[in-house]
Amino acid sequence: MKIFEEDHVHAALSYPAFIGSLREAFAGDFTMPARQVMKLDPNSEHHDAFAMLPSWNDEVIALKAFTYFPENPEPYRSLYSKILVFDRRHGVPLALVDGASVTYWRTAGVSALAADVLARKDAESLLLLGTGRLAPYLIRAHASVRPLKRIAVWGRRPEKAQEVVETVKSEFPEIDFQVASELPTACGEADVIVSATGSSEILVRGAWVKPGTHTDFLGNHHADKRECDTELVTRSRVYVDTRINCFREAGEILVPIQEGAFSKDLVIGELAELCRGRAPGRQSDEEITLFKSVGCALGDLCGALAVHRAG
């Protein structure tokens, strides 16, 4: 069995090639049970957790395990993760792959894949909410699927948003990068809105979003919290990465359902159904599309398998 660390992952993966691999994986046959997220101390105010995400296809079996300790002090990270890969035919262990780095690559890759399927073909401006380690990956992934001309980055601390801009702007000299200050204005100007924050409060409101926008919410994994309001959900054609996980964890979907403003059968399709051509995508340039993801194990399998193949 081979062991692959973070540097191996970054050397093996690139956009848009990895997005193509994700598209192929979601269009193919696979099994992906519900992921298991366990709070380590249900009586504690802390959110320390352990999770397991299994999946398999006709080639490999993959299990990602991760710990999440959001209040970890320096020098510890908030998330540690490993992906164990087995041969599907005989069950032989093949690889142990760094899971944290794969998570960044696959989360951004899935986001960009959904945008490639659902956003307008002429989309040229992106608003990114969030300044964490995932932010540069999201910019690189989305820039690989649309000819973006403008990217605005928003964060509660403008200096952090500026740091994200400084990290990536030299890679894309053709793109005008800005730090967004007023969310209502920034939302109204964007063709694609991606929210990847840990916010427990609503950040994007339906009244701010113009017709034809594609929106993507991936920062919240709590059933009672959300990054967008009910109005945006009811104005949108809604899609999810997986129903089985989003109907358990995605407050963006569950809160409007609890309010009686939305229902599960109004979710038009999963990402796999879109990739297989079994769910209709955008029907006009005036529609708002909304993609909600909480993370799915098939993306981890796809990333870990690509790293293993690269050797």
Could you read off the pLDDT of 53-81 as tens digits, one per residue? Answer: 999 999 999 999 999 898 899 999 888 99
Give Cβ neighbours of residue 279 (< 8 Å, ≥ 6 apart): 239, 268, 269, 270, 273
Q: What is the mean pLDDT of the chain?
A: 96
Specify the higher pLDDT residue, 239 or 219.
Answer: 239
| Domains of the chain and CATH, by start | 2-102+299-310 (3.30.1780.10), 119-297 (3.40.50.720)
CB 28 within 8 Å of CB 298: no
* pLDDT value, residue 161: 98
Global pTM value:
0.95
Of the two residues 68 and 92, the one the predictor is more confident about is 92
pLDDT at 240: 98
Dihedral sign from CA coordinates of 130, 136, 139, 145: negative
pLDDT for position 184: 98
As a whole number of angstroms, the distance between CA 281 and CA 289 comes to 9
Number of Cβ within a 10 Å radius of residue 178: 17
pLDDT digits (tens, 9 = 90+) for 242-276: 999 999 999 999 999 999 999 999 999 999 999 99
pLDDT band for position 199 (50/70/90)?
confident
Radius of gyration of the chain from its Cα atoms, rounded to whole angstroms: 19
Residue 198 scores a pLDDT above 90: no
Give the pLDDT of residue 46: 77
**Strand ranges (DSSP E) for the chain?**
2-4, 36-39, 49-56, 60-68, 79-87, 93-98, 125-129, 150-154, 176-179, 192-195, 214-217, 236-240, 267-270, 288-292
Q: Using the predicted structure, report yes or no on whether residue 84 has a pLDDT greater than 90.
A: yes
Token digits of residue 100: 């944290």
Tell me the H-state helices in 260-296.
271-275
Which residue from 274, 120, 293 is spatially nearest to 196, judged by alpha carbons? 293
pLDDT for 47: 79
Kindly list the distances between the CA atom of residue 298 and the CA atoms of 109, 126, 146, 219, 280, in Å, as whole numbers in the listed order: 12, 26, 24, 18, 22
What pLDDT, on a 0 to 100 scale, did the predictor assign at position 42?
83
What is the model's pLDDT at position 225? 92
The sign of the torsion formed by the CA atoms of 53, 25, 246, 122 equals positive
Write out the two tokens for 213.
Answer: 């926008």
The pLDDT value recorded for residue 51 is 94
